[in-house]
Each structure stands twice: as structure tokens, then as C-alpha cells.
Amino acid sequence: METMEKQALTDHLRDLRTGLVRSLVAVAVGFAVSYYFIDHIGQWFVRPLYEVLPEESTLIFTSYQEAFFFI
């Protein structure tokens, strides 16, 4: 069996803070990258819907939140 070394409470809190900061940075980077490619991502999501729409038709959303529930 492995033996775990004992840490003081402050060491645990320091590890927790480091993990939280890294997680927040990763989320911020992921958000920034996805925001930069928002048009490409949106087109990728609606491409299958456009493929099955009849000719000469378009997508119409009557309220802001409907664009998120187009499936």
C-alpha cells in the first residue's frame, strides 16, 4: 500500500486554490476560442437542418431563445 503524506490545512487550501485558478483559466480560454469561432460553430449546428429544408425556405425565429431550440 502507498502511504500518503500528511499535509497541513493551508497546504490543502493552496492546492485547492491552484486547481480552481487553473480550471477558471481553462474555462476562460475555452470560452474565448469558442467565441472567436462562433459563426463556424453555429453554421456547423444548423447545416443538417438546412439540408432537409425545402427549396427557397429560410429559418425564422420569432423570439431570442428560439434560436437555441431549433432541433
Task: Write the pLDDT tens digit of every residue in 21-64.
Answer: 999 999 999 999 999 998 888 888 888 888 888 888 877 777 76
- Would the pLDDT of 66 be above 70? no
Q: Which 8-state DSSP code applies to residue 53?
A: S
Cα angle for residues 50, 67, 63 (degrees, 5° grid): 130
- Would the pLDDT of 67 be above 60? yes
Predicted TM-score (pTM) of this structure: 0.60
